[in-house]
Amino acid sequence: MPEETTKTKKESNYGAKDIYVLEGLDPVRKRPGMYIGSTGIDGLHHLIWEVVDNSLDEAMGGYATEIEVSLLPEGRVSVKDDGRGIPVETHKQTGKSALETVMTTLHAGGKFGGESYKVAAGLHGVGVSVVNALSTYLKAEVCRDGAIYEQEYVRGKAKRALKKVGKCKGTGTTVTFEPDPEIFKDRKFDWNRILSHLRQQAYLTKGVKITINDKRNPVEIVGAKENDGHVLYPTHTFYFEGGIVSYVQYLNRHEDVRHSNIFYVNKEQDNILTEVAFQYTNDIQGHELSFANNVHTIEGGMHVTGFRTAITRTLNDYARKNNFLKEKDDNLTGEDIREGLTVIISVKLQEPQFEGQTKAKLGTTEARTVVESVVSSELADWLDRHPNDAKEILGKVILAAKARVAAKAARDTVIRKGALEGFTLPGKLADCSSKKAEESELFIVEGESAGGSSKQGRDRRTQAILPLKGKILNVEKARIDRMLSSQEIRSLVIALGTAIADEFNIDKLRYHKIVIMTDADVDGAHIRTLLLTLFFRYFKALIEGGYVYIAQPPLYRIQKGKEITYAYTEKQKIQILARLADAQENKKEKTEKKAKGKRSQDEKWEVTELGSDNNDESLEDETKISGISIQRYKGLGEMNPSQLWDTTMNPESRMLLRVDIEDAEEADKIFDILMGSEVLPRKRFIETHAKDVKNLDI
């Protein structure tokens, strides 16, 4: 009874006063992640995408031909278009100007009815108002009816009424905003990320010119643009008449293509415009990019499902009809069809239904039916008209089907032994005693010598060691059946516990930290790249989940007397030596009772270099410290167990770099260039970036 009385009393205190109503744009500032995905670097750039989407809506409607994005000093961004300009007359419902209504009200815009926008990238009409809410400053300028109208806002609220400030020709809108530091801790815009996104948008909206200017730090460079103030700054302009066909050519620029003619369809059906372009390459990996009203649907959706169904059924029908497949042969699977396929799927429709505010997946069911119908009919006709291309495509996918059967046999062989289920761990694995994945770590160590030191120096309860012998197979060039024939890779797959390919299950991951630990030399970097290629191609979910790390062993061991310090970079070494020099100077001055001053140039350091034939060039022309020894580590095997623990494995003192994928598409291309079979692109990449190499250990 006393408990019931207490409960009743607590409930009676809960009333209307406890219900909070967030008005205007307050909900956006209270929960920004609900509207832009996050307040990190992705959410910061999402502000630009939202404003650009409004300009693209004008372009898709045929009202705009040019969009200009400028990165300005003080962290501001300007987006300008030559569209119709946001209306400025008084809005009947709000009593404010239409411009202020759009800028300060959620669910306000020209995308909720009528004929203003047949298609639009905006989801719920919240885009520009959300940007306004999350900006410490925003200015909207509109050119309409021969006049320029202007209004400024602070954190979503108008500073003053809309006013006419001058005359102009034509029409258009310019939005300049500054992200709020209270919302975004990191406000540094990434030039390359913006270029990549806007290049993509230019491909998807053929005929529109998109210019990007970086006015943050004006510099004198070749090809820079000169403005009225005679200041140079980087600029890029994108304009593609070929649209997504040009996009496919761009994505396959480093690939060995299977057929010359690119399949392309652009057809409207049931008020949905379907645009698809694809081409096969001899690569094992495929590239599938999908868009709805120019929004990149990274998780796919109904339009992707419709395309996959159509291409799988149509190619199977063609293969049967033309005797590429016999009666006894099984049908080609979707996995077979998509191997080596580079495809762009773009749909434009009214009132798209996205799943989530960040529009990652299209949920409009009608899109599936329309895309499936359009691609099926058009592809069947295209194959009949291009028999040589059809032969090349069928040759590619049938080869993929044979490889799939061989790969399944290889996986089944391992599974039958119970290895991938974790029953038989590899003998070279020194496992940890803990069975809790969240506290367990797997160190993938280069070489047996380093593996031995690691096993002795580790924390046996939480740290497992898997030494690798030599360089593993380059999986960029190998199918999964050949990959699993490699003992080193098989040992790693077994140790992880997740299985691989179709059987992959991240819930069975045995370690939540997978640490790649290689020597700090060229061979070590090569082995690290081979391992990263393996993870990127076959265990991408582990990278995306934040489970993969790179260990940072020290480059130098610096000892003076009993004091031992480790330097992980050249810069750290110089800092440590400078500190030791200052300490010695202070001690000397104290002993000799001399005034503080600069050290005599006649003094010498007595430096003993251990493990290095040459004195470090950075020490030249410097004063010397007596009684100091510097050991340059050439490999992990040079460290004894205690040193390896102190510097690289101890959670309290080590440095680990987590492997992230900021741009999966760009990462995919880099792996193709660095690890693929084409020599020329790799040579060009090395020539381009050779100047960025600071220290080359040969």
* Phi/psi-derived region of residue 172, left when phi > 0, alpha when psi is between -120 and 50, beta in every other case: left
519 is in an annotated binding site: yes
CA–CA distance, 38 with 43 (Å, rounded to integer): 5
Residue 519 catalytic?
yes
Which candidate in 150, 523, 544, 609 is catalytic?
523
What sign does the dihedral 187-188-190-194 (CA atoms) show?
Answer: positive
Write the DSSP symbol of residue 511: -
Residue 186 catalytic?
no
SS (H, E, C) 417-483: CCCCCCCCCCCCCECCCCCCHHHCEEEEEECHHHHHHHHHHCCCCCEEEEEECCCCCCHHHCCHHHH
Residue 521 catalytic?
yes
3-state secondary structure of 548: strand
CA–CA distance, 235 with 190 (Å, rounded to integer): 14
Q: Please provide the distance, in angstroms rounded to a whole number, between the alpha carbons at the two ends of the chain.
A: 81
CA–CA distance, 73 with 464 (Å, rounded to integer): 49
CA–CA distance, 133 with 25 (Å, rounded to integer): 6
φ and ψ of 256, to 5 deg: -90, 100
Q: Please answer whether residues 232 and 221 qualify as being in contact, where contact means their C-beta atoms are separated by less than 8 angstroms.
A: yes
Q: Is 6 exposed, middle or buried (0-12, 13-18, 19+ CB in 10 A)?
A: exposed
CA–CA distance, 514 with 657 (Å, rounded to integer): 11
687 is in an annotated binding site: no
CA–CA distance, 247 with 288 (Å, rounded to integer): 12
CA–CA distance, 696 with 698 (Å, rounded to integer): 6
CA atoms within 13 A on the CB side of 607: 26
Of 191, 344, 261, the residue nearest 665 (C-alpha): 344
Which candidate in 152, 335, 521, 570 is catalytic?
521
Tokens 């940072």 label which residue? 552
CA–CA distance, 35 with 269 (Å, rounded to integer): 32
CA–CA distance, 592 with 411 (Å, rounded to integer): 75
- DSSP string covering 143-205, please? EETTEEEEEEEETTEESS--EEEEE-SS-EEEEEEEE-TTT-S-----HHHHHHHHHHHHHHS
- DSSP string covering 651-695, please? TTT--EEE---S-HHHHHHHHHHHHSS-HHHHHHHHHHHGGG-S-
Per the document, the length of the chain is: 698
Helices (H), 322-386: 334-338, 365-385
446 is in an annotated binding site: yes
Which candidate in 178, 431, 519, 646 is catalytic?
519
Strand 354-355, strand 361-362: pairing: antiparallel
Which candidate in 446, 638, 646, 672 is catalytic?
446
- Residue 264: beta bridge partners? 277
Q: Please answer whether residues 275 and 303 qualify as being in contact, where contact means their C-beta atoms are separated by less than 8 angstroms.
A: no
CA angle 213, 215, 217 (to 5 degrees): 135
Residue 317 catalytic?
no
CA–CA distance, 423 with 416 (Å, rounded to integer): 11
Q: Which residues are annotated as a binding site?
A: 446, 519, 521
Binding residues for Mg(2+): 446, 519, 521
Which residue numbers are catalytic?
A: 446, 519, 521, 523
